[in-house]
Amino acid sequence: MLQRLQKIIAQAGIASRRHAEELIRSGQVRVNGEIVTELGSKADPDHDRVEAAGRVAEIPTELVYIILHKPPQVVSTLADPEGRKTLRNFLRGTPERVFPVGRLDISRAASCCSPAMASLPRACCAPPAACAKRIGSR
């Protein structure tokens, strides 16, 4: 199935979608050996060889979901320009690419979900979701 190159690159963990756009514009993305510079270009990750910044885009087939208890005074992100503790401090050694879902106040302690892909949390957190949910923090 054809997908936008930005999505393929992000799912492979090479770069965020926005950074993938910069890689495309700067000529650092190849599809089947051909340089691609046009945003919105598509490829089939199952059949095409996509390379970005010299790395082959391999999308993981196994999904991993992590529920993490975020202590107070930890920022719900993987990088903080102010140098505060982030969720990355608690995910060291996790081989899969994960990213936080949702934002929690720095002063709150709560659970947050970090999936390799956003489909489960999106399905559970969307307003018309058919599953019961209880969200709490202290």
Both tokens of residue 48? 């095409």
Q: Enter the DSSP assignment of 57.
A: -
**105 annotated active-site:** yes
Annotated active-site residue in 44, 48, 80, 105: 105
Give the angle subtended at the CA of 48 by the CAs of 45 and 53, to the nearest 5°.
Answer: 80
Both tokens of residue 130? 């058919």
Kindly state the helix (H) or strand (E) to which residue 36 belongs, with its residue range: strand 34-36
Kindly state the helix (H) or strand (E) to which residue 8 belongs, with its residue range: helix 5-11
Both tokens of residue 16? 């965020």
Known catalytic residues? 105
